């Protein structure tokens, strides 16, 4: 995730065209099983490079046929280039229909979205290592625990805390603690029943053990991003997922024919459903990553895909040098229940509804140097140049050095507000065209369709969906004015900190690089 360079692993190499595996590019025959055999051989050998020479490999050619899966550590799926003449994985059919649940709320094994061209799936179980013995404050890295005997330096662990007030059977806005801490001063109401319901009874985040200080104290590689008092019963579990997986130098294409409409089926002239809304939104997917850490996706092009990369319950990944092209679709990069991931240098040529999405308590993620090559909202498909917060309070994330984006999120009413506390928007060029959600869009950098849940119940308080946010160095293409809460002035309130609005050439172009330094 930027602290160290992505490794260039050389050996051992498992060439999918080797006679042991039998993949033959450009022959028009399915190669899924041959490529999977090379992946499985690498897994048995303790890891290595699964190499795909240039050419087109046909995978998942029917709904019921298998998809590529990586379930072991230290496997790198490597092609010979992400261009049209490089290594192409051609997905011939959508994934199988199945229930689409809120991201990360059920096991990856039963989530239909895992049926992508490539799925990285780690084990989701973990055993208890220790419990906190003292309250932990936001920003703290040294944790006092019951015992440190089960820890070791470099270990990956999962921190879990439980909201003492939430009653999953009878959720009420006044009976919640963690959601309130992470959405204040937004006033939760009965309509946001999932925001203070069973999905957030437990909140988890992934960290590493930097040091064992003594018999009862550990030092984490990541600071706590929220207060964790003992009445949250905070505990530390082993992380048993997979690590050090890489996917690189590939082009992932599909037979998706286009005709996308957001959350709507594709119908013929007589009104017959040709493709369901579920297929259009979720089942033409590129890469699914679940329960995995310290991995990377780099130099990958997604062509004619309605869903690009999904990171679920994963941390410390780098997604770098990606491109989206071809037909309109649903989403580009989506992170749910994920923390401390780096998304950088992404080009969006294909129109998408949600080019970049954070959801489900995601925190500490950095999204930098992304650019859209289109403008405006397509009213038929719903595609737009959106930084999307999709509910269940994603908090303390950084968007910076973004070109052509504004904040225009989704998510249904039950998971709102769109975002949690202290998200940062730094050095961003908004598009000239801000369509938002209709007649009330105007020139605001942040939008929502749900202003009825805000204090004034009017568009004037749309910003309340992004509590305690920072807006630093926000400008707009074509020297047009951009506003926040109807103003262009610098200010600091309980809702927002604004500096340098409409003033280009910010003195610190990259907060991420400065903080890393």
For 334-382, write each residue's pLDDT tens digit: 999 999 999 999 999 999 999 999 999 999 999 999 999 999 999 999 9
Please classify residue 97 by burial: count the beta carbons closer than 10 Å to its beta carbon, then call 0-12 exposed, 13-18 middle and 19+ buried.
middle
13, part of any domain: yes
Helix/strand/coil for 192 = helix
Distance of CA 394 to the CA centre of its chain: 10
pLDDT at 460: 93
* Selection from 252, 109, 186 nearest residue 393 by Cα: 186
Residue 288 structural domain: 1-122+241-293
Average model confidence (pLDDT) across the chain: 96
Q: How far is residue 118 CA from its own chain's centroid?
A: 16
Confidence of residue 436 (pLDDT cuts 50, 70, 90): confident
Tens of pLDDT, residue by residue over 233-272, are: 999 999 999 999 999 999 999 999 999 999 999 998 899 9
Nearest to 358 by CA among 296, 405, 304: 405
Q: Residue 82: name the closest of 287, 268, 269 by CA.
A: 287
Q: What was the pLDDT predicted at 402?
A: 98
CA dist 232 and 412 (Å) reads: 28
Residue 100 inside a domain? The answer is yes
pLDDT of 191 above 80: yes
* Residue 17 belongs to some domain of the structure: yes
Confidence label for 204 from pLDDT (cuts 50, 70 and 90): very high
484: its two tokens: 């926040």
Q: Which two tokens stand for residue 30?
A: 């399915």
Give the number of other Cβ atoms within 10 Å of residue 79's Cβ.
Answer: 25
Please tell me the predicted confidence (pLDDT) of residue 146.
Answer: 98
* pLDDT for position 440: 76
Beta carbons within 8 Å of 438's beta carbon, 6+ residues apart: none
Q: Is residue 248 part of a domain?
A: yes
pLDDT over threshold 80, residue 441: no
When divided into structural domains, the chain yields a total of 1
Query: Within 10 Å of residue 514's Cβ, how many Cβ atoms?
Result: 10
Region 434-438 average pLDDT: 86
Q: For 58-107, how does the pLDDT look when each residue is reduced to its tens digit (9 = 90+)?
A: 999 998 899 999 999 999 999 999 999 999 999 999 999 899 999 999 99
Query: Which structure tokens are listed for 54?
Result: 């240039």
Which segments within 296-359 are labelled E, that is strand? 296-303, 307-312, 318-325, 329-336, 342-348, 352-359
Grouping H, G, I as helix, E, B as strand and the rest as coil, residue 463 is helix
Query: Nearest to residue 291, comparing CAs of 418, 103, 162, 138?
Result: 103
**Phi and psi at residue 311, in whole multiples of 5°?**
-110, 120
**Predicted confidence band at 442 (pLDDT cuts at 50, 70, 90)?**
confident
**pLDDT(1) > 80:** no
Residue 439 has pLDDT above 80, yes or no: no
E-strand stretches of 103-230: 118-121, 128-131, 142-144, 156-162, 202-214, 217-220
pLDDT at residue 109 in the model = 92
387 within domain boundaries? no
Cα 413 off chain centre by: 20
Mean pLDDT value across residues 453-478: 96
Q: From residue 104, give the alpha-carbon distance in Å to each of 67, 195, 359, 433, 491.
A: 20, 14, 10, 34, 37
Using 50, 70 and 90 to split pLDDT, how confident is the model at 505? confident
User: Does 338 reside within a domain?
Assistant: no
86 within a domain of the structure (yes/no): yes
The single residue listed with the structure tokens 């990360």 is 104
Rounded Cα distance, 296 and 4, in Å = 12
């Amino acid at each position: 995730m930027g602290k160290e360079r992505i490794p260039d692993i050389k050996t051992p190499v498992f060439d999918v065209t080797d006679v042991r595996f039998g993949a033959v590019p450009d022959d028009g025959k399915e190669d899924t099983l041959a490529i999977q055999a090379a992946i499985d051989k690498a897994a048995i050998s303790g890891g290595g490079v699964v190499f795909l020479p240039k050419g087109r490999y046909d995978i998942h050619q029917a709904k019921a046929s298998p998809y590529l899966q990586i379930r072991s550590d230290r496997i790198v799926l490597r092609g010979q280039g992400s261009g049209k003449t490089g290594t192409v994985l051609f997905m011939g059919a959508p994934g199988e229909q199945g229930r689409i649940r809120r991201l990360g709320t059920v096991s990856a094994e039963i989530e239909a979205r895992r049926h992508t061209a490539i799925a990285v799936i780690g084990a989701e179980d973990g055993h208890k290592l220790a419990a906190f013995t003292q309250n932990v404050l936001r920003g703290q890295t040294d944790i006092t625990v019951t015992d440190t005997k089960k820890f070791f330096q470099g270990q990956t662990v999962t921190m879990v805390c439980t909201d003492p007030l939430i009653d999953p059977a009878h959720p009420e806005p006044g009976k919640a603690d963690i959601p309130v801490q992470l959405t204040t001063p937004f006033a939760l109401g009965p309509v946001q029943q999932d925001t203070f319901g069973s999905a957030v009874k437990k909140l988890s985040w992934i960290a590493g053990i930097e040091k064992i200080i003594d018999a009862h104290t550990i030092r984490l590689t990541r600071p706590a991003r929220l207060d964790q008092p003992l009445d949250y019963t905070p505990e530390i579990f082993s992380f048993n997922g997979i690590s050090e997986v890489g996917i690189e130098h590939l082009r992932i294409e599909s037979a998706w024919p286009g005709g996308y409409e957001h959350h709507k089926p594709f119908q013929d002239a007589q009104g017959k459903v040709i493709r369901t809304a579920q297929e259009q939104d979720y089942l033409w997917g590129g890469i699914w990553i679940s329960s995995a850490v310290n991995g990377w996706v780099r130099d990958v092009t997604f062509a004619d895909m309605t869903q690009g990369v999904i990171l679920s319950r994963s941390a410390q990944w780098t997604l770098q040098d990606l491109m989206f092209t071809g037909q309109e679709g649903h989403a580009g990069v989506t992170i749910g229940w994920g923390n401390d991931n780096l998304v950088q240098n992404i080009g969006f040529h294909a129109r998408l509804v949600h080019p970049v999405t954070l959801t489900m308590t995601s925190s500490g993620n950095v999204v930098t140097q992304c650019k859209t090559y289109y403008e405006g909202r397509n009213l038929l498909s719903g595609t737009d140049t959106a930084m999307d917060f999709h509910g269940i309070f994603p908090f303390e994330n950084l968007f910076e050095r973004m070109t052509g984006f504004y904040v225009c999120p989704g998510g249904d009413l039950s998971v709102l507000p769109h975002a949690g506390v202290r998200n940062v928007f730094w050095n961003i060029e908004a598009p000239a065209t801000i369509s938002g959600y209709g007649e009330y869009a105007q020139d605001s950098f942040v939008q929502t369709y749900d202003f009825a849940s805000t204090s004034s119940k009017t568009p004037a308080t749309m910003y309340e969906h992004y509590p305690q946010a920072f807006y630093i160095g926000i400008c707009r293409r074509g020297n047009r004015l951009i506003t926040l809460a109807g103003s262009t002035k610098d200010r600091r309130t309980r809702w927002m900190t604004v500096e340098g609005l409409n003033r280009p050439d910010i003195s610190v172009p990259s907060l991420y690089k400065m903080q890393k330094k």
